[in-house]
Homo-oligomer: A and B are copies of this chain.
Amino acid sequence: MSGNPTMNDVAREANVALKTVSRYVNGETNIGAPLATRIQEAIDALGYRRNLAAASIRPGRTSRMLGLIIGDLSNPYYSTIAGAIESTASDHGYLLTIGSSDEDGRRHDQLVDRLMEQRVDGLIIVPPTGAARDWSKLPPPIPALVFLDRPVDFDQADAVVADNAGGARLATAALAERGGRRIAFVGDSLDISTMRERLAGYRTALIEHGVREDPELVVTDAHRSVDAAVAIRRLLNERAIDGIFAANNRAAVGALMAFRDSGARVPLIGFDDFEAATLSTPAVSVVSHDITLMGEAAAEIVFARLSGDTSARRTHVLPATLVLRGSEDG
């Protein structure tokens, strides 16, 4: 046996015309019972399976596939997004093809090209931290395109982002309202746009509460949990901080490590929920932006565009909410 059986093989086996097999396979009703039986028997005998790739190249036919590019599928943050998108895609009868950019601009661009060449009907992208493709010079037509989680300066696409500044402001304000005057900001590099927004929200809250910002209390190089832990131990020992806004969940985990190691503890609020948050004592309060909702929203926007929604592209900002669990009181 050389390759996979084709419709033609089935037609020959069943002594019918190719088109009749096509009709049968596609569930069209106008087929005589005897022929239908013969065709099904031929299909079973040959182990025929239709070739959707071949079908999809016909004009008017689509691949019924969505593409998703994220940083790293192993990261629970991204996989939650991916899961929400996959689930929504599945509801619409779509398959999801996923690529991880590892936050690398080149890899990201390769994935964009590959997925477009694969003719996905829609593309959802979490842009990498580093410089990526200049979207403005990407020639149309591009499929339904949605940027997720991070804003991109390209008005031909929709975007779904969380209210990072608003959430950071909520958290910092909660700490200030409980008397915090030396509240630390602990986060990752400001090359990451979400970090810049969260720092801006932190500053807004400080200003609103009449607190002068102390640059010594702002840490923006905590890439891993242990980095954050080291920085926070130092802040606790040398800077007399009385509150911590942990700008991502790695920073929050780092704070827990620092508390454990140093025996000291100050009020703490994190950004983005994490599994250990409810298990520690007291439980860690966090700003939660619902990434599941973000993923679903992005997918639904794609499907809206696919079904003809031509309204102006826009950026959808999803609210961030403060989940207080106790750690904000120290």
Contact = CB atoms under 8 A, between A and B. Distances in A.
Interface of A: 1, 3-4, 44, 46-47, 49-54, 56-57, 59, 63, 65, 72-76, 79-80, 82-84, 86-87, 90, 95-100, 113-119, 139-141, 253, 256-257, 260, 274-276, 279-281, 292
A242 B114 CA distance: 56
A267 to B, nearest CB: 19
A86 B59 contact: no
Nearest to A274: B275
3 A-B pairs closest in CB distance: A47-B139, A74-B83, A79-B79
A240 to B, nearest CB: 26
B73 A83 contact: yes
B114 A100 contact: no
Contacts of A49: 113, 116-117
Could you say which of A98, A256, A292 has the most chain B C-beta atoms within 10 Å of its C-beta? A98
Given A74-B87, A86-B99, A95-B115, 15 more contacts: A46-B139, A50-B117, A52-B119, A53-B118, A54-B57, A57-B57, A65-B97, A76-B79, A79-B82, A83-B100, A90-B100, A96-B97, A97-B97, A257-B279, A260-B281
A116 B79 CA distance: 24
B141 A1 contact: yes
Name which of A46, A140, A276, A281 has the most chain B CB atoms within 10 A of its CB: A276
Given A49-B116, A57-B51, A74 B80 contact: yes
Contacts of A95: 97, 99, 114-115, 118
A73 B86 contact: yes
A65 B53 CA distance: 12
6 contacts: A53-B119, A73-B79, A73-B82, A276-B279, A279-B280, A280-B280
Contact of A84 (B44, B47, B74, B113): B74
Contacts of A139: 44, 46-47
Contacts of A46: 139
A297 to B, nearest CB: 16
A51 B83 contact: no
Contacts of A74: 79-80, 82-84, 87, 292
